[in-house]
Structure 1
Amino acid sequence: MSDQNRPRTALSLPDEVTPSPARRRVVAGGVSLLLLCSPWARAATRSTAPSILAVRVWPAADYTRVTLELDAPLKYTYFAVKNPDRLVVDIEGIELNAALKSLANKIGADDPYIKLLRAGNFKPGVVRLVMDLKTEVAPQVFALKPVGEYGHRLVLDIYPAVPADPLMSLLDKREVTGDPMQAAVRGELKPEPMERSETRIEARKPAEAAPEAQPSQVARESREIKEAPRKGKPIVDRLVTITLDPGHGGEDPGAVGQRGSQEKVVTLAIAKRLKAKLDAEPNMRAVLTRDSDFFVPLGTRVQKARRLQADLFVSIHADAWVKPDARGSSVFVLSERGASSAAARYLAQKENDADLVGGVNFGVKDVHLAQTLLDLSQTATNNDSLKLAKSVLKEMGGINTLHKAGVEQAGFAVLKAPDIPSILVETAFISNPEEERRLVDEGYQDQVAEAILRGIKAYFAKNPPLAKSRLARLD
């Protein structure tokens, strides 16, 4: 049979294109090379052992956080050592790389808890981290799954063994003779007769204590509300405490503008300006939930306000939306019955996810947080929150376009203090290029702080704070 008449199947090749053995070897080699160069092949052949991608350190007075980011889950153990105090963490199945070696250079001399942190090969397949401590601590070590832009994380939170009492810390910072609470502690405060001219919040002037007066008695009197028949409204003779909450921080940058501006930086700058203005008022004082770049869980922010026996809670944020043309300022209060709009619901969910991004050890049960989440339906607190929000929104409308004409409502976790009027201020849209430029401008930051201050003062002018059992509220 001739070659032309030879039958062929669908899979047979003409003789003229049938590869020779040598050609087969070349083709096979080329295919193997292509397979090895493909992304999925590289992933399949890569070792499953985790690798350290980055290390970060966030020192703060509240606690210091050390984060190791990896490309895969890892196994670890840790234990504490006394005399001197040290924390030891053994990580299995990783290699000592440049990122781990850089840890020692990331610990500053001013870190409140960590003296030195070093890494080394403990035994084959195990890297040991040794943290030399400046004081006794209560560490929390836990792993986080990938979220957002982060991979797997190992978190070392170094808390003081005995946390500072927030009220005493506040008093220690007020070394001013005119501070009535500080004067009361020193036994220098003497009750004075009430004036009856107009309704206002007023602070006592320091004076010599009566010989029979005891400091503890006077301190109690300085915390109480003295009521007088001034047109049916009470007179307050104590400093009003306002907790300012700069959103996000540390591992959680918040929203990021097109120019790279971070929400956590903007909110802290505005909060510090507002604190300075409030502290300058004769009858007010402000406390920040964070005063530098570190992460604070949402429940802890609320807990701080309650332990400080705050009269108001103001959370400061910079909004973001999927489209860059969204603009304007907003003020939110807690909603018990669902969000006031789809956008409000989206924003609340995004803000509530901050704990996932920032990294919370959900294995630790906090009794204070449990108390905070109880009894969220106190009508008086919710009504006061709405009054405060309307007052602040009106003032924000004087410096920026309002995103909505009225106060919005949504289920923000950070607004869930059952006994403190709480609002969340979205100062502007950082996702809007024009408003991003304004948010990083110091002049606009000062305008925002001034507007919130005016709103707070206008609220108190109509709604003086009522008597509170100050000592009983210490959890």
Structure 2
Amino acid sequence: MVRIICSVVCLWVIAGIAVAAQNKIDGVRISPSSNTTRLVFDMHSEPEFTYFTLEGPHRLVIDLPNTSNKTDLSTTAINGSLVRKVRYSTPKNKHSARVVVELNRVAKPSLFSMAPAAPHGHRLVVDLEDSQPASVSTPTVSASANASNRVVMDGSTSTRDRDIIVAIDAGHGGHDPGSIGPAGTYEKNITLSIAKKLEAMVNAERGMRAIMTRSGDYYISPNKRPEVARQKKADLLISIHADAFSQPQPRGGSVWVLSMRRADSELGRWLEKSERHSELLGGAAEVISDKSSERYLTETILGLSMDHSMATSHDLGNKVVEELRQVTSLHKRRPQAASFAVLTAPDIPSILVEVGFISNPQEEKNLNWSKYRERLAHAMFNATKRYFKQVPPDGTLWAAEKMNNRTHKVKSGESLSLLAQRYNIKVSALKAANNLNSDVVRIGQVLSIPST
């Protein structure tokens, strides 16, 4: 009986090893960007891994327990200048694989696994932070008129000097005409006309790109409009409407942002929908095994994101009010808070602009004048441009240009070494950028601050 039990146990162990050893590398993809090179190992099942680095020459060594080393790595397409070769080495044991990534220079590795997400299966992702970042040719570049250098890596989008994306929402549409003026003017037609004019202005600006929630006379639910903006990874949503009242006297434009009460309720709705956590956490959601930790992290990120979006909305709203004042009278002299569904995206700054009262005969007449609609669109465009020139989103062309065009006016007590420390650059780089032959600077001198 003991022999039978031992035999069964041994068979279980052997079978377990055989099953565990079924993992294998299905393929390798290499995608370089400006400062990071990503290697993606497509795996047959969830990978286990450990790794270490070696010098002379520089190498990253990855040990994969219970993994076959039969896949040919010599056919791996080498992209970029950081990775020299991907090959196998002698594994720890016959059931494991050891992969060596030969490097041309020092790089800081970061490894993590990713669960299946169509069209990909299990993956081991290796991000190598380059010690000598430089411009690289990229595998997939968008056809944007502004050449935003959008690089597709492993099914997700990495961006380098990308466009600022403005989502433009023309209110109402289709079977919903919106408000109707005394002369029969439909709000949906006015808003679409202004939206198209604003779209043209945004697309004509280098470093900006517009997307429309609707481009014709059809209906989209107000709750769906923020989703369109999110799918297109918009940095801002501008919803355009025309006001109305039961009496003809009210007139003037106004700007609206999300109310704090509605913001709090939206936070709760997002937290209760666990499938939306990955929209906020990105790849991190796939590697967090503790669901309570995931909710805590999601709540923290969501709160910070909502705070940022609402602050941005208020700042931009004030600029839109300033610009509208030059085109039309104002019904409200500062941004107002409301519970509009179109403003509820927690991760996208959003404003709603009422361009005037269509119920006012004179304003209805103005809104039917193409030149007037163009001036309204220009007011929104100017405000948007002013805001993003001051605070460009990370990773955008405008952010890169602002970083490269930094200046500093020397104050009493400041020196080159102090400024170099403050901006995390070398004194020699600071001197070279300003054609300085000595370490002496004078009060009031304006220095160019080179990018790090």
TM-score (normalised: structure 2) = 0.46
Q: Larger Cα Rg: Structure 1 or Structure 2?
A: 1
TM-score (normalised: structure 1) = 0.44
